[in-house]
Structure 1
Amino acid sequence: MKKFSILIAGGGSTFTPGIVLMLLDNLDKFPIRKLKLYDIDKERQDIIAGACEVILREKAPEIEFLATTDPEEAFTDVDFVMAHIRVGKYAMRELDEKIPLKYGVVGQETCGPGGIAYGMRSIGGVLELIDYMEKYSPNAWMLNYSNPAAIVAEATRRLRPHSKVLNICDMPVAIEERMARILGLKSRKEMTVRYYGLNHFGWWTDIRDKEGNDLMPKLKEHVAKYGYLVNDGGDNQHVDASWQDTFLKARDVYALDPDTLPNTYLKYYLFPDEVVAHSNPNYTRANEVMDGREKFVFTECKKVIENQSTEGCALHIDEHASYIVDLARAIAYNTHERMLLIVENKGAISNFDPTAMVEIPCIVGSNGPEPLSIGEIPQFQKGLMEQQVSVEKLVVEAWITRSYQKLWQAITLSKTVPSAKVAKQILDDLIEANKGYWPELH
């Protein structure tokens, strides 16, 4: 059986140890000969890599391991690049969230002005990774789950249309895991789903078990009462209070269209006033993460390095990241697994922009994804998606043409922003904050 060489780009991420543990847990399905970490922040990556080295020595000493800041060393001889970079790290995420809140607008990592700011930083970083991959390992595939996935996907469509990049998101996976728990199933893999939308902006229209029985009625009954809250202690990633609120709020989003089940992120677009009212402008989700996961992961990694052992270490497998292995396996072994990916519409949603990057089920094999046909979508969803896809396209256009005007239009068009005046105030603050990260706009 062929063994693969994997590069994790964004090696200093707090998610890296969980992904490494997940890869090691799946070696029987997806064998690895070499595992590399690449990051431009050596200091940060060294701590994560130091712990990963010990983990590998204990669990899979036969795998060659390397952490580097040198693109040539990183990208040479790899089969898959798993990319999860955060340009500007949490310091910039904090500004993405706090600047809009100053003007009474949703401050969120991937939605609204914060997501637009993050997108403007991410485009260049992701394109750089693609270019390195194509230069040093032209046959490799990139599995990109860097946020904001919608803007990044549109940028790769426009600027690297022939690249072997698959854009994927873990949020539908996390929600489907909750659905499986609501239904008392062992795994989301026991469900076949139909879903459509944009990234962080979609709806499930049909969910069945493998025998073809309709599971929607039972799910809808639960969501109508409790949203996606499940009280069985089965989740170790989305445990913070803000996530519990988000899962509960799905109840109100669902009420708007009881024919479908919504992605949780729709709350930011449909209830922005409530979100702002419940936000603390001085302590946002970025602060929660820095005080929570960030401290936890780095403390645990330092312990592992100090003891040169994982004994008593609390780092855990990132279970729901296993979809990344599923995707890599689908390409490597031509499994034709059905997965939700962000792909160019090209008529899959028949009454929607053919060039839009939509999130829909695809059959994935060694040639990449084959999107499934969705057909026509209802007016309500179509209207929301037209507005949001226009925001994403304008952001990418603004990045390409360095246009202040286009970016102002993008922020104005976001459903989270009340007026063009407020959009301009936020934009001017974001430009100031993102000096050195964004192209210079004129």
Structure 2
Amino acid sequence: MNKYSVLIVGGGSTYTPGMVLMLLSQLDRFPLRKIKLYDNDPERQEVIARACEIIIHEKAPDIEFLASTNPEEAYTDIDFAMAQIRVGKYAMRELDEKIPLKYDVVGQETCGPGGIAYGMRSIGGILENLDYMEKYSPNAWMLNYSNPAAIVAEATRRLRPNSKIINICDMPIELENHMATILGLKSRKEMDVRYFGLNHFGWWTEIYDKAGNDLMPRLKEHVRKYGYVEDESLYTDPKRDSWHATYQKARDILELDDAYLPNTYLKYYLFQDYVVKHSDKNYTRTNEVMDGREKDVFTACRKVAEDGHCHDDLFDVDNHATFIVDLATGIANNTHERMLLITENKGAIANFDPTAMVEVPCLVGKNGIEPLAMGEIPQFQKGLMEQQVSVEKLVVDAWITGSYHKLWQALTLSKTVPSATVAKQILDELIEANKGYWPELK
């Protein structure tokens, strides 16, 4: 059996230790000879890398480990690059969220003005890393889950059309895990799903168990009452975090159209006023992450380095880690596993822009991914998606051409922004905040 070399791009991410643990737990189906980390922030990566080196040495000492800030060293001799970069780190994410909120507009890292700002920073970073991979390991695959995935996917479709990159998102997987728990199933993999949409903007149309039994009625009954909150007793718990409120809000999204089960991110587009009203303009999701996950993971890594041995209970293995190993295994072993992925439409959704980067079930194999046909979609969903995909295309237009007006149009067209006037006010402030990160706009 072949053994593979994997590079984690964004090695200083708080998700890296969990990803390493997941890779080590899956060696029977995805054997490794090398794990490498690459980041352009040496101080941040060093803390994470010291812990990962100890973890790998304890659990799989035959696997070679390397952490580097040198692109050639990092990208040479790899089979997969698993990209999780955050250009501007949390300091810029905080501005992405707080600047729109000043104008009573949704402040979120992948939706609305915040997602547009983040996308304008991410495009260049992903293209740079994709070019490194193609230069030093031209046969490798990049599995990219850097956000905002929709904008990044559109940019790579247009600017690197022949590149071996697959853009993915773990949010549907997270929700399918909740669905499985609600149904009393052991795993989401006991379900067969049909789904259509854009990244962070989609709907489940059918969900069956492996015996072909329709699970949608049971799921809809639960979501109508509790959203995706698994434990009914926690539904009104005021002490839960912002994700808890997001899972609850699915109830209201379903009420708008109960034909399909929604992705929770639709709340930012359909209930913008609610989101702003329930946002703390001084303490956003970024602050929650910095005060929680960020501190916890770096503290845990320092403890591992200090003690000189691994503490498995200090790290969480996240959904995106599991998902990305499934994808890598599907490519490596030509499994033709069915997975929800971001891909060029090309008729998968029959009555939708063939060039749109959509999120639909795909078959995964050694030559990449093959989208499955989802047929035609209803007017309501089609209209929402056409508006949002136009936003994404205009952002990429603005990045390529340096057009102020294209980006202003993108912000104006976003369903989260109330007017062109407000869009311009937010844009001008975002331009000032993103100096050095965005192309110069004229």
TM-score by length of 2: 0.98
Q: Distance in 1 between matches of 2:321 and 2:20?
A: 10
1:373-412 to 2 correspondences below 5 Å: 373-412=373-412
Instruction: Please report how far the alpha carbon of residue 320 of structure 1 lies from its aligned counterpart in structure 2 after TM superposition.
Output: 5.0
What's the counterpart of residue 279 of structure 1? 279
What's the counterpart of residue 206 of structure 2? 206
What's the counterpart of residue 314 of structure 1? 314
Instruction: Please report how far the alpha carbon of residue 316 of structure 1 lies from its aligned counterpart in structure 2 after TM superposition.
Output: 2.7
What's the counterpart of residue 174 of structure 1? 174
| Superimposed CA distance per residue, residues 106-125 of structure 1 (whole angstroms, 9 cap, x where no aligned partner) | 00010000000000000000
What's the counterpart of residue 332 of structure 2? 332
Q: Residues 226 and 232 of structure 2 are in contact (CA less than 8 Å); yes or no, is this contact kept in structure 1?
A: no
Per mean C-alpha deviation after superposition, the further-off stretch among 309-318 and 328-337 is 309-318
1:366-377 to 2 correspondences below 5 Å: 366-377=366-377
Give the secondary-structure state (helix, strand or coil) at the position aligned to 1:339: strand
Instruction: Please report how far the alpha carbon of residue 314 of structure 1 lies from its aligned counterpart in structure 2 after TM superposition.
Output: 1.3
Q: Residues 398 and 406 of structure 2 are in contact (CA less than 8 Å); yes or no, is this contact kept in structure 1?
A: yes
Q: Distance in 1 between matches of 2:250 and 2:138?
A: 42
Q: Distance in 1 between matches of 2:193 and 2:186?
A: 16
Give the secondary-structure state (helix, strand or coil) at the position aligned to 1:147: coil
Q: Distance in 1 between matches of 2:228 and 2:65?
A: 39
Q: Distance in 2 between matches of 1:274 and 1:418?
A: 14
Q: Residues 170 and 320 of structure 1 are in contact (CA less than 8 Å); yes or no, is this contact kept in structure 2?
A: yes
Q: Residues 22 and 319 of structure 1 are in contact (CA less than 8 Å); yes or no, is this contact kept in structure 2?
A: no
What's the counterpart of residue 88 of structure 1? 88
Q: Residues 21 and 318 of structure 1 are in contact (CA less than 8 Å); yes or no, is this contact kept in structure 2?
A: no
What's the counterpart of residue 428 of structure 2? 428
What's the counterpart of residue 222 of structure 2? 222
Q: Distance in 2 between matches of 1:434 and 1:72?
A: 28
- In structure 2, relative to structure 1, the CA distance for the partners of 1:256 and 1:101 (3 Å cut) is same
Q: Residues 408 and 423 of structure 2 are in contact (CA less than 8 Å); yes or no, is this contact kept in structure 1?
A: yes
Taking every aligned residue pair, what percent have the same amino acid on both sides?
76
Q: Distance in 2 between matches of 1:13 and 1:312?
A: 17
Q: Residues 170 and 319 of structure 2 are in contact (CA less than 8 Å); yes or no, is this contact kept in structure 1?
A: no
Q: Distance in 1 between matches of 2:276 and 2:29?
A: 45
1:8-407 to 2 correspondences below 5 Å: 8-231=8-231, 241-311=241-311, 314-319=314-319, 321-407=321-407
Instruction: Please report how far the alpha carbon of residue 310 of structure 1 lies from its aligned counterpart in structure 2 after TM superposition.
Output: 1.9
Instruction: Please report how far the alpha carbon of residue 315 of structure 1 lies from its aligned counterpart in structure 2 after TM superposition.
Output: 1.4
- In structure 2, relative to structure 1, the CA distance for the partners of 1:125 and 1:240 (3 Å cut) is farther
Q: Any unmatched runs of 5+ in structure 1?
A: none
Instruction: Please report how far the alpha carbon of residue 231 of structure 1 lies from its aligned counterpart in structure 2 after TM superposition.
Output: 2.0
Q: Distance in 2 between matches of 1:335 and 1:383?
A: 35
Instruction: Please report how far the alpha carbon of residue 388 of structure 1 lies from its aligned counterpart in structure 2 after TM superposition.
Output: 0.1
Give the secondary-structure state (helix, strand or coil) at the position aligned to 1:265: helix
Instruction: Please report how far the alpha carbon of residue 309 of structure 1 lies from its aligned counterpart in structure 2 after TM superposition.
Output: 1.2
Q: Distance in 1 between matches of 2:274 and 2:219?
A: 25
Q: Distance in 1 between matches of 2:229 and 2:313?
A: 29
Counterpart AA for 2:310: T
Q: Distance in 2 between matches of 1:174 and 1:59?
A: 27
Counterpart AA for 1:158: R
Runs of 4+ in 1 over 6 A off after TM superposition: none
Q: Any unmatched runs of 5+ in structure 2?
A: none
Give the secondary-structure state (helix, strand or coil) at the position aligned to 1:322: helix
Give the secondary-structure state (helix, strand or coil) at the position aligned to 1:193: strand
- In structure 2, relative to structure 1, the CA distance for the partners of 1:330 and 1:313 (3 Å cut) is closer
- In structure 2, relative to structure 1, the CA distance for the partners of 1:312 and 1:151 (3 Å cut) is closer
Give the secondary-structure state (helix, strand or coil) at the position aligned to 1:230: coil
